[in-house]
Every structure is written in C-alpha cells, then in structure tokens.
A and B are shown apart, each in its own frame.
Chain A
Amino acid sequence: GENVEQHPSTLSVQEGDSAVIKCTYSDSASNYFPWYKQELGKRPQLIIDIRSNVGEKKDQRIAVTLNKTAKHFSLHITETQPEDSAVYFCAAGTSGGSYIPTFGRGTSLIVHP
C-alpha cells in the first residue's frame, strides 16, 4: 500500500515569510496529490491539488510542486499571514476506480504576527 511521509511536523515562521512543507510517497501508481488545511476545531478543506501530468500548480499565494521521479511533492506558501496558521495535510492516491487517499501526519504551521 501507499506510504506518505510529511515534514516538518511543526513549522514556525514570521508573518511575510515563506513556508514550505514536503511530502514523499512510495507508490509510483499514485497520480493525484491534494493538500488540505485544517484549522483548529474545524474540518479539513482542500486548498490545492496536483496531478502527475503536471509539475507545478499555483493559486495566488500557494503553489504545489511535484517530482515524480523522486516521488515527492511540496506545498509552498508565500507572504504568510496569521490566518494561514493551521495544520496542513498532504495526501496521495490513484484517481479513477477506487480512489483511496493516504494522508501524511500533518504539519502544524504557526505564523507569528
């Protein structure tokens, strides 16, 4: 089965700095990689995703990069704001048919004002 490792477990930055969270996966069949944000006491929500036929995707201050050869993908947040403080989860899975994502353990991002 798929195994997803996520680092770091905690990331503390100053407002305005960039933050990078990295995930590695084990199953070369995985082709869909979403990122979820979970604020304290709230439900996880999708913030960005990438498919294996694309190397990078951007949406305003967030971007995701994928290296299929090395089997890793990263979330980049630029110009961080206090409201970016949350736990971020990466996931990997194979789309189509039985899609069952495997989640990383999460990264707690703290943005200090």
Chain B
Amino acid sequence: DADVTQTPRNRITKTGKRIMLECSQTKGHDRMYWYRQDPGLGLRLIYYSFDVKDINKGEISDGYSVSRQAQAKFSLSLESAIPNQTALYFCATSDPGTGSDNEQFFGPGTRLTVL
C-alpha cells in the first residue's frame, strides 16, 4: 500500500463550488504539506503543518484552507473554486530526523479542473 494517498485522483468542478482534497499517510510523519503544480512554475507551497496544532500558510494560501484532523490526515479545501485554481495538487510528508534532513514523500497527486 502507498505511504501517502490522495483522494480524489481527478476532479472536475464548477466555479463557485466548495471542494475538499484529502491526504492520508501511514509514514508516521508529523510534517505535512500541500503544493500545487502548474506547467513551467514548478511546485508552490500552499499550506504546511508541523503537527496537529501547528498550521501555517505557504506562499500561495489565498483561496485555500486546510484542516489537520489527525497526525495522519491533512485536508485542503477550496472554499469557492475559480478557474485559475485548475492545477495538479500534491500532498507531501517529511520527518526532519531522517537521512537527508528534510526529504519529502509525495502522494500521487489530484488533478483538479475548475470550469
């Protein structure tokens, strides 16, 4: 079984709808992240969480919110989706105690299309 899973894998929605993307991990890591990937822009950080009570904004948090329901679960919500939020969304985890200090482990991604 995959260590970091994301649901759904694909989603098409309409402008103005509320959408939730979910991420679960079995790695036991405290740190979790949400990124979006756009062609030619690489990955940009939306939100990150160092533990259940510690949630922080990343570089592009406007229009998004998150919830860390448990160590293993970190959800990303789009309160009112707009077309420029069409992107590939990745969840990642890390444990600062491991080998390369901050290697990140990624989920398979959620492709979101907002019409």
Q: Do A and B come from one complex?
A: no
B residues with a Cβ closer than 8 A to A are: none
